[in-house]
Structure 1
Amino acid sequence: MPGHFEPIPGGGAAVALDDVEISIIRSLAVQLLELIGPGPGGDAPEDPLAELFAEGPSEPPADPVLRRLFPDAYVDPEAPGTAAEAEERRAHSSEFRRYTENDLRAGKRENALVVIRSLDALAPVDEGGAVLKLAPAESRCWLGALNDLRLAIGARLEITDEDDTDLLYRLPDEDPRKPMVLAYLWLGGLQETLVTTLMS
């Protein structure tokens, strides 16, 4: 079980994590929460009903990580068509973003919070570390959060396709991106084993 998820009775998943791994995942999840932000109404909305129907932003985020996490729905710069058709796609994308981004952000926040809470609830073992056991619903939240963390790190590393990933394997140890690359690859392995576990 060390380093990869395995199925447990009841449809959940389990993985053994050492103290360093727990600290890294928790830190990354907290950073993701900070990046996504508290939501349109902050921590204590005055009118929950108004919050429910609040419109989100209509323009893509300026931060490249947020643009990767919340991409345009209809805009494809390589799509064929006239300038008018491209403008129409941008308008549709803007409208779609306005009515969906708040919910998407809330879902990503909830996934990250599930990760943090489940790590905080771990009981340590003598060797340093713990076995994380997740119920099926928690497993799905973890899967979403691991995907978001990899997307965020990939955006910071400017990974856009498989060739970029191949280059990461050949980075020299002194490259300042190396720790981020190792985290990206490790999270990918965790994500892959969790997918396999949930499909078994």
Structure 2
Amino acid sequence: MSGHFESLPGGGASVALDDVEISIIRSLAVQLLELIGPGPAEDGGEDPLAELFAEGPSEPPSDPVLRRLFPDAYGGPGGDPASLEEAEEQREHSAEFRRFTENDLRARKREDALAVIRSLDSLASASGEGGVLKLSREESGRWLGALNDLRLAIASRLDVLHEDDADHLYQLPDDDPRKPMVMAYLWLGGLQETLVTTLMP
């Protein structure tokens, strides 16, 4: 798989995608949507005003991928607390921050994934096959968010915590069952990198 984003005049970006690439990205985005789950309105048909002021969860998700997508705001790698008291304080601050921000963060991630799916569906229906996807600057921002989330999700499944951890993935034999996921991870990284470059002033 190849393909990289290029700048469009006046902002935005374009990328040539074939049928297989469209299918892979779309499938991953759908899986991401399923993992994130529906919003409160989709799930229970609540009053929109009540939904606006609804509080989110205070505990981190149990799924390791969701923990990666919705990390604690305080503490974490490199920030180990010096004492039990400090650890408890970090936990309380993280719980409070999560309660008031996670619903909005989930909604944004859903919208990013949906934007990817819609643009790919539009490209496929317009051409009947692959083609050149053209994105506005706003759509490019949505794609950037979704590509980042997809890479975080795959990295979590591959036990990649830092970019340096991915070095050994290049050496996997072709018959390793993780190989397709590794190829997708690396390919999405290339797409993400070129998209960032196109959006730089």
TM-score between the two structures when normalised by the length of structure 2: 0.94
The equivalent residue for 1:139 is 140
What are the superposed Cα offsets for residues 51-96 of structure 1, whole Å, 9 maximum, x if unpaired? Answer: 0111101000000000000000013365242101110110000000
Residues of 2 paired with 1:101 and 1:152: CA distance?
A: 17
SS in 2 for 1:190: helix
Given that 1:14 and 1:131 are in contact with CA atoms closer than 8 Å, whether structure 2 keeps it comes out as yes
Asked if 1:116 is matched to 2:117, the reply is yes
The aligned runs of 1:65-144 (5 Å cut-off) are 65-76=65-76, 78-122=79-123, 123-124=126-127, 128-144=129-145
The equivalent residue for 2:61 is 61
User: In terms of mean alpha carbon deviation, does 12-21 or 72-81 score higher?
Assistant: 72-81
The equivalent residue for 2:161 is 160
The aligned runs of 1:177-188 (5 Å cut-off) are 177-188=178-189
TM-superposed CA distance for 1:175, in Å, is 0.4
SS in 2 for 1:132: strand
Runs of 4 or more above 4 Å deviation = none
AA at the equivalent of 1:31: Q
Residues of 2 paired with 1:44 and 1:14: CA distance?
A: 38
Given that 2:68 and 2:153 are in contact with CA atoms closer than 8 Å, whether structure 1 keeps it comes out as yes
Asked if 1:10 is matched to 2:16, the reply is no
Identity %: 77
Asked if 1:30 is matched to 2:30, the reply is yes
For the aligned residue pairs, the C-alpha RMSD in angstroms reads 1.4
TM-superposed CA distance for 1:39, in Å, is 1.7
Residues of 2 paired with 1:45 and 1:10: CA distance?
A: 40
Given that 2:59 and 2:95 are in contact with CA atoms closer than 8 Å, whether structure 1 keeps it comes out as yes
Given that 1:30 and 1:112 are in contact with CA atoms closer than 8 Å, whether structure 2 keeps it comes out as yes
TM-superposed CA distance for 1:43, in Å, is 4.6
User: In terms of mean alpha carbon deviation, does 183-192 or 154-163 score higher?
Assistant: 154-163
Residues of 1 paired with 2:164 and 2:116: CA distance?
A: 30
Residues of 1 paired with 2:168 and 2:119: CA distance?
A: 34
Residues of 2 paired with 1:27 and 1:169: CA distance?
A: 24
Give aligned pairs, total. 197
TM-superposed CA distance for 1:44, in Å, is 5.8
SS in 2 for 1:173: coil
**Structure 2: gaps spanning 5 or more residues:** none
Given that 1:40 and 1:56 are in contact with CA atoms closer than 8 Å, whether structure 2 keeps it comes out as no
AA at the equivalent of 1:84: E
Residues of 2 paired with 1:192 and 1:46: CA distance?
A: 39
What are the superposed Cα offsets for residues 113-147 of structure 1, whole Å, 9 maximum, x if unpaired? Answer: 0000000101227xx41100000000000000000
Q: Which has the higher helix share?
A: 2
